[in-house]
Amino acid sequence: MIKGLGAALALLLASASAHAGTVAVYVGYADGLRAGADFPNPFAAGETFTTGGHTYTITHDVSDHSSTPDSGAVMILNTGATDALITNLNVNDRATGGNYSIWTGNGAGQLGAGVTLHAGEGAIFAANAGDNFDTSDSASAAFTGASQTGTTFDASTNNCSNGPIAASVACTGSFPILTFTINAGGSVFNDTAHVLDTGGYDSAQYSHIHTGGGGVPVFNTNESLGWRPIGTTGIGNPGGGGSVPEPASLAVLGLGILGVAAIRRRG
């Protein structure tokens, strides 16, 4: 059985290496309509982002900054040593069943044939026509008005990002899902912390905690959420965090190892 496990693991490693590119995915929310200090930074080509002791340069800004943003935001960093060709980005809003495929095409603010990220480079994706990526406006089924049976909704402490409601089926079953193709291989990332949908409710409608200009927490309706690795921390941490990114290939490999372990147990 050990021999069989080793062979399966070797096959899995070979499959993972075929994706020839390692990326980290970050999410945030960019609200330029209201005052707030948590706007995701960087947010334009030419700017840099430092995490885990490494600095990445944003080389592609697949969005439209001709107007004040009110938009979900996705940042993809190439953390590997080889080029990563990113194509066919899509965000599925499970709360409404809608899909954001706004970057697939050949127009301004779209992917065209794809963007190639060299090692140490990154790309940012946001609204590319008006408010066509205003992901905060989609409410989760967890909320009926401003409450849920058995618990009380609170904009800062009890929502789909944090608090008792976060564990409800309505929240755990409705997070945004991001899919894209990297070097012809499919990748799926789950926004389980509900960053793109700002806690599962329209946060512009409620006063909630944010970081003030002097670093002092304040309550306001600005929706901005700083960059954080997808699936890690939600709106209870509006400033985000620059923790070491998790390579996509290792995430896929980990799921594969669990599958191999399950096969071993059944044997």
Return d(Cα 90, Cα 192) in angstroms, integer. Answer: 16
> pLDDT tens for residues 45-63?
999 999 989 999 999 998 8
How far CA 120 is from CA of 48, 65, 76, 80, 113, in Å, comes to 10, 24, 11, 8, 21
Which span out of 102-106, 109-113, 223-227, 239-243 was modeled with the highest average pLDDT?
Answer: 223-227
As given in the structure block, the two tokens for residue 258 are: 């669990």
Q: Locate the domains of the chain by residue range.
A: 1-21+248-267, 23-246
> Phi and psi for 48 in degrees, rounded to 5?
-125, 160
Instruction: Return the pLDDT at 140.
Output: 77
- Split at pLDDT 50, 70, 90, the class of 242 is low
Euclidean distance between CA atoms 116 and 82, whole angstroms: 10
For position 27, what pLDDT does the model report? Answer: 97
Which has the closest alpha carbon to 91: 158, 25, 184?
A: 25
Residue 207, φ and ψ in degrees, nearest 5: -75, 125
pLDDT above 70 (res 245): no
**% residues pLDDT > 70 (the chain):** 78
Say whether pLDDT at 237 is over 70: yes
- pLDDT tens digits for 73-85? 999 999 999 999 9
Q: What is the pLDDT of residue 213?
A: 73
Res 243 pLDDT > 70: no
Region for 3 from its dihedrals, namely left if φ exceeds 0, alpha if ψ lies in -120 to 50, beta otherwise:
alpha
Give the integer Cα–Cα distance in Å for 59 and 123: 6
Q: Other C-beta atoms within 10 Å of 260: how many?
A: 18
> Cα–Cα distance between 107 and 111 in angstroms, integer?
8
Please give the pLDDT value at position 244: 52
* Token pair in block for residue 171: 């929240």
Among 141-145, 183-187, 263-267, the least confident range: 263-267
Rounded mean pLDDT, 222-244: 88
List, for residues 199-223, the tens digit of each pLDDT value. 998 898 888 888 887 778 888 899 9
